[in-house]
Amino acid sequence: MTQYDYDLFIVGAGSGGVRVANQAATQGVRVAIAEERNLGGTCVNLGCVPKKLLVYASQFSDEFEAAKGFGWTVGESTFNWPRLIANKNAEVEHLHAVYRTRLQKSGANVISGKATLLNEHTVMVAGSQYSAERILIATGGWPFVPDIPGNQHIVTSNDMFFLEELPKRIIIVGGGYIAMEFASILNGLGVEVTLCVRRHKVLEGFDEDIRDFLAEEMLKKGINIRFNTEIVGIETSPRDGFSVRLFDSSKIETDLVMYATGRTPNSSGLGLELLNVALNSEGAIKVNSDYQTNIPSIYALGDVTDRVNLTPVAIAEGVALVNNLYSKPPRAMDYDNIPTAIFCDPNISCVGLTEARARELYNDIDIYQTRFTPLKNTLSGLDEKTLMKMIVVRSTDRVVGIHMVGANAAEIIQGMAVAIRAGATKAIFDSTIGIHPTSAEEFVTLHK
């Protein structure tokens, strides 16, 4: 029997890789995990956590304004971007320590440096070689930057977390969730935001009513959205900042250009091509239902496989992988009815099918929908509405989709996701007593 240094060597200490390392090591598996940057991956360092902290910061401008309607006199307020970033950095550093402590307590060996696969059982990190029975690639994704003239001036979501100062004006390119979130963050912090969207709507793949409603709300907040717009070049402006040239030859002056036009699997430079690990045309690692590549000893999960690119999904895939490899009986990952949220302003959250997808699958769909002014905004003076939508299969009465745009949408939909996965019917929702007065109670009082 071949003796390896480790039973499992993990490349990438993001959410998925760390969960695998901790869970496997606590079961007695000999685990090493290599990371060339910081522990925690995108979520902790360049995504979920710091992004949500910036979202909180951006919401105070509305809260100060709303306070007047409730009898508060709020004095002159100022915002200090460097202080926010310093505090954010301190919290991220704290999480680095938490992750390292947990890995060490579990018994996993943490190795710093870029890992390269030499063969199907050997990894090199910082000049040292390590052999392993199995290798897991969990290196996540990286922001995509297009090949256009002046792309050296582009910043991505990664860079936004470390800006030394806020711009007065920014152009954000993209119509996905990262673009929506940063447009809202910067708008809330007083930046003049222009959103350039290549298509005629934002958030491709989301429910049509949600897409339209969010665009309306963002426009009301002063975000300039330019649909059917494509940038063909960026150059420095004689008046400082940048001049952005559009496909119709017009130009927009701005202080900063951010691209949020997708992320690509972080699979290059790992030695995968030399081992003939199968990749798709976008560079994503191809895996089977057990997260195994075409090389039996090499596995992959999370964003580097470019399937469902969400932190909780990578974590759940990690749990499933450890169960499959080292636990009995194995438990498969269920990709149905995964809830998701976008922390723009207002928030979006949903679970289950869009109306369009539901109509493709069923011929008897009922739609329950409401738009209303939340109670808080009756006094706040803020012109922000809430949209809630429920999709029901008439023949079975089963609820197959729930969508929301409005304050605390993610907090509300998390509970709704449990109901959807449990197979709740519209009758069960109708028989549930609401908590009054809340926005959430609307989901148990919806009618046509």
Check whether residue 249 and residue 180 sit in a common domain.
yes
* Residue 335 domain-assigned (yes or no): no
Check whether residue 243 and residue 319 sit in a common domain.
no
pLDDT tens string 99-110? 999 999 999 999
Check whether residue 249 and residue 185 sit in a common domain.
yes
Contact residues for 385 (Cβ-Cβ < 8 A; gap 6+): 213, 217, 371, 372, 373, 374, 406
Check whether residue 268 and residue 249 sit in a common domain.
no
Neighbour count for residue 151 (Cβ, 10 Å): 14
Whichever domain contains 174, its CATH number is 3.50.50.60
Which positions of the chain have pLDDT values less than 70?
1-2
Check whether residue 15 and residue 135 sit in a common domain.
yes
Check whether residue 155 and residue 38 sit in a common domain.
no
Check whether residue 54 and residue 110 sit in a common domain.
yes
Cα-trace Rg, the chain: 24
Check whether residue 207 and residue 278 sit in a common domain.
no
Of 298, 326, 354, the last residue of a domain is 326
What was the pLDDT predicted at 413?
98
* Residue 13 domain-assigned (yes or no): yes
Q: Which domain holds residue 432?
A: 340-444
Q: Taking all residues of the chain, what is their mean pLDDT, rounded to a whole number? A: 96
For 346-404, the DSSP string reads S-EEEEE--HHHHHHH-S-EEEEEEEE--TTHHHH-----EEEEEEEETTTTEEEEEEE
Residue 436 is among the residues annotated as catalytic for this protein: yes
Residues 234-263: b if buried by 16+ CB within 10 A, e if exposed: beeeeeebbbbbeeeeeebebbbbbbbbeb
Check whether residue 315 and residue 384 sit in a common domain.
no
* Residue 289 domain-assigned (yes or no): yes
The H-or-E segment that residue 245 falls in is strand 242-246
**Which residue in the list 94, 403, 436, 447 is annotated as catalytic?**
436
Closest CA to 403 of 393, 416, 385: 416
Report percent pLDDT > 90 for the chain.
96
- CB contact at 8 A, 347 and 408: yes
pLDDT tens string 42-87? 999 999 999 999 999 999 999 999 999 999 998 889 999 999 999 9
* Residue 184 domain-assigned (yes or no): yes
Check whether residue 139 and residue 280 sit in a common domain.
yes
Whichever domain contains 363, its CATH number is 3.30.390.30
How are beta strands 192-196 and 224-226 bridged, if at all? parallel
Total domains present in the chain? 3
